[in-house]
Amino acid sequence: MLKVIIADDEEKVCQLIVHLIDWNAVGMEIVDIVNDGKSAYESICDKKPDVVITDIRMPTYDGIELISRTKKILPDTYFVIISGYSHFEYAKQAIKYGVENYLLKPLKKKELEATLNKILEKYNYIHKISSEKNELIERLQLSEEKNKKNLIQNLMDSGKLGIVEMGLDEMNKEYHCNFKDTYFVGLIIHPFILNSVVEQQIYDLLLKKVNQIIDTRLSPICQEVVTAVYKDEVVCVINIIEDTLFDVKKQLNKMRMEIINWKEIFENITVIIGMGQIKSSFIGLDESILEAQEAILNRMVLSNKTIIEYIEIPQNNEVDYVIDQETRNKIVSSFERIDIDSLTQLIMQQEQKCQMQNLSGKQVFSCYKDLVQVISFSKKNYMPETRFPEQSFFIEKFRNTISMEELFCWLREYVRVEFQRHIESRKNSSIVPIRIAKQFIAENYNTSISLEEVSGMIGFNPAYFSTLFKKETGKNFTEYITEIRVQNAKQIIVKTNMDISDVAVEVGYSDLKYFSKLFKKITGVSPSEYRKLYG
């Protein structure tokens, strides 16, 4: 609804206007009625109407002065002049200020109604155009933002880029950027949520917020800033006028503290920032981004650093960080022997080797990948029944771990858990067959069953089954059968009056003398004496 103020020094005229029009029908509402120019102006300042219907002659400010004052503060206000005089000069001044109509008293309903409908049509048209314009601007902004993100995506996916070869002007046009031929720097911002498992949806929200704050912080001090979320990091390209990063670092530190203070949403959060070197041309941008990635890797050996510049850690190519053949053989052997202590010791030795040789983060990453590859190979050969993740799982863990110490500690604990699972699995794999064998014996103890028969039934060779059976039961196969037979004989002797010779046959012995001898050996008394004692 459009808001309307009526201003006329004659109360009767005001009431006439109020009752002359069905205001709801024309999409308007009266918000005030005033009787002098000054009061009208004060009401206009307060209520900010869309339409003012005013007399040309009023105390304090006349209609022309009221229009003049209002147009300075609310230029889009629509005015309708009413007058009892058909003065050309008044009409001329009213037209100059762009009033919608100059109506003479007495007012006619159709004339006023037609004027108000015209105002409403004009208002709707202007607002429609404005809305479409705003929507178009918004779509263009989204399109520009998308194109800028595509620049980051293409930079990261291309490795050694081909994008920079298109030239700065062409690149600006293609990706809707505003780069100048000055200085360029690549940044990688990696948020870490420590000591907790975070749902991907929460982490995505964190990355989005980091992306927004980076853009907000750096845009005022840079010629151009392009940011985008890429995997689990925010990648940023900045174009600066001068060959210095002093102000950039200052803003990055403020950004870090702002993010760390989001403790209500993200517990135990920290941020590591990798910075490539300043490049004097757009041609070097891809190299600066690669440097920023290497700088982020150097967090592994610079645990106290939060903003890491590429130049701070020189690459030491003379050191030997590859796992030697002897160590590889020892790792494989530890899996073969199921020797977790040996394996964890070998992992610890690799960590110490990395520390002693002062490796870069990139070299630590290579050593870690090499180590994981040997462990994965050994597991597939000696623990095929347990699930072991692909190498991508271990690389993902590296990306989300801050220090080398934390990384290798996690790896030792991880393989320890996997070894324990393997041991439990082997234990269960031996228990189940023995359980089946014992069930078979319980159901067939009174027949002439043999070690060969039972081992064949569960799919083991007799020698292995005999060893496994004694390990699980504490008795060899023959002793176990004898004990089961005697236990059942004791039950029959106590609960029935069956002859002892028949009891012997019932539990699998045709020779009474042999049965009695075995029975007395196990119980300490003969079958007859047992009946007298417990029958």
Predicted pLDDT at 381: 79
pLDDT of residue 6: 95
How many residues appear in the chain?
A: 535
pTM over 0.75: no
How many angstroms separate the first and last alpha carbons of the chain?
106
Between CA 362 and CA 299 the distance in angstroms is 10
- What pLDDT was estimated at residue 177? 86
pLDDT at 269: 85
The DSSP element (H or E) to which 95 belongs, if any, is helix 88-96
Q: At what angle do helices 477-495 and 462-473 cross, to 10 degrees?
A: 60
Q: What's the pLDDT score for residue 35?
A: 93
C-alpha dihedral (156, 159, 161, 163), degrees to nearest 10:
-30
Query: Whose structure tokens read 């498992």?
Result: 197
**Alpha-carbon gap, residue 475 to 434, rounded angstroms:** 12
Gap between the Cα atoms of 342 and 335, Å rounded: 9
C-alpha distances in Å from residue 468, one per residue of 355, 448, 464, 480: 46, 21, 6, 13
Helix (H/G/I), strand (E/B), else coil: 84 = coil
Dihedrals phi, psi of 277, to nearest 5 degrees: -75, 155
Query: Burial code of 219-235, b = ≥16 C-beta within 10 A, e = fewer?
Result: eeebbbbbbbbbebbbb
pLDDT digits (tens), the chain, 535 positions? 899 999 999 999 999 999 999 999 899 999 999 999 999 999 999 999 999 999 888 899 888 889 889 989 999 899 998 887 666 566 667 767 778 888 888 888 888 999 999 999 888 888 887 776 666 555 555 555 666 777 888 778 754 445 556 778 888 888 888 899 999 999 999 998 876 666 777 788 888 889 989 989 999 999 999 998 888 899 999 999 988 899 999 999 999 888 888 866 777 788 999 999 999 988 888 889 999 999 999 999 887 889 999 976 555 555 556 788 888 889 988 888 888 999 999 999 999 988 888 788 888 999 999 999 998 888 887 777 666 677 788 888 898 899 999 999 999 999 998 888 877 776 666 677 888 888 888 889 899 889 999 988 888 888 888 888 888 888 899 999 999 999 899 989 988 999 999 999 999 999 999 999 999 998 999 999 988 888 7
* Buried-state track 328-344, b at ≥16 Cβ within 10 A, e below 16: bebbbebbeeeebeebb
92 CB contacts (<8 Å, ≥6 apart)? none
Max CA separation in the chain (angstroms): 148
Yes or no: say if 342 and 332 are a contact pair by the CB < 8 Å rule: no
C-alpha pair distances (Å), 251 with each of 213, 273, 380, 381: 10, 12, 49, 52
CA 207 to CA 230: how far, in whole Å?
9
Alpha-carbon gap, residue 486 to 481, rounded angstroms: 9
Q: What does the buried/exposed string (b/e) look like for 90-106 if buried means 16 or more CB atoms within 10 Å of the residue's CB?
A: bbebbeeeebbbbbeee
- Please list the residues that pair with 79 across neighbouring strands: 52
The three-state secondary structure class of 450 is coil
Q: How far apart are CA 451 and CA 429, in angstroms?
A: 20
pLDDT of residue 89: 65
Q: What is d(CA 476, CA 455) in angstroms, rounded to the nearest whole number? A: 13
Query: In sequence order, what are the residues at sequence separation of 6 or more whose Cβ sits closer than 8 angstroms to the Cβ of residue 26?
Result: 113, 116, 117, 120
pLDDT of amino acid 298: 92
> What local confidence, expressed as pLDDT, does residue 320 receive?
59
Question: Over the Cα atoms of the chain, what is R_g?
Answer: 45
Assigned token pair, 227: 């940011």
- Crossing angle of helices 477-495 and 512-523, rounded to 10°: 90
Indicate if the alpha-carbon torsion angle 199, 149, 210, 286 is positive or negative.
positive
Instruction: Measure the CA–CA gap between 16 and 36, rounded to whole angstroms.
Output: 17
Between CA 91 and CA 428 the distance in angstroms is 103
DSSP 8-state code for residue 323: P
Compute the distance between CA of residue 532 and CA of residue 24 in angstroms, rounded to an integer. 114
Q: Looking at residue 318, what is its pLDDT?
A: 53
